Amino acid sequence: MPGTAGSQAGTPSSNHTPTRWIRAGPGQATPTSPHPNAGAWASTISHLLLGTVTERTLVLIKPDAVERRLIGEIISRIERKGLTITALEFRNVSQQLAGDHYAEHEGKPFFGSLLEFITSGPVVAAIVEGPRAVAAFRQLAGGTDPVDNATPGTIRGDFGLETQFNLVHGSDSTDSAQREIALWFPGA
């Protein structure tokens, strides 16, 4: 009640520290409250208010894109789409990780060349987050075959040269994203 002892106009009378919000990325705010669940609460509140569901997806910038120095361009497109990169790592891919990542293709004629390509040079692995992140990144990436079915304006449509050397990988479903993120970023 305004004017009662221990309170000031516009402030609560309890010792509770109000949660302050800071901008964390395009269209996102993050609480600075010390409460361990503040981030989860903020995420839930923003979903209710905005009617969106935040997803995470794995994005790989493949060796051909790294070699062609397209990392900055690809990251810029991800951010301009309104997605947030929450983890990023530049790394060489082991045969084990490559095999685990592409396990669904084992036994197919292109499996060996797929593993050879992804282990041929460094990749950039990223966890990308945002509303409908899986679909949003796949739209941004363009069709798998950059020559025959990638739309101009997409990463593959603008920069892709061959089917196998198609610059980026994005998880194809939220289930795949969870599995792939666990492989590339254990504990994330």
Burial of 95 (0-12, 13-18, 19+ CB in 10 A): exposed
| Torsions phi, psi for 115 (to 5 deg) | -65, -40
Is residue 118 within 8 Å of residue 101, measured between CB atoms? yes
37 annotated ligand-binding residue:
no
138 annotated ligand-binding residue:
yes
**Is residue 105 among the annotated active site residues?**
no
> Out of 16, 101, 105, 169, which one is annotated catalytic?
169
156 annotated ligand-binding residue:
yes
23 annotated ligand-binding residue:
no
110 annotated ligand-binding residue:
yes
Q: What DSSP designation does 141 have? A: H
Residue 87 bridge partners (DSSP): 127
108 annotated ligand-binding residue:
no
Tell me the two tokens of residue 28.
């996102």
- Could you tell me which residues are annotated as the binding site for ATP? 62, 110, 138, 144, 156, 166
Catalytic machinery residues: 169
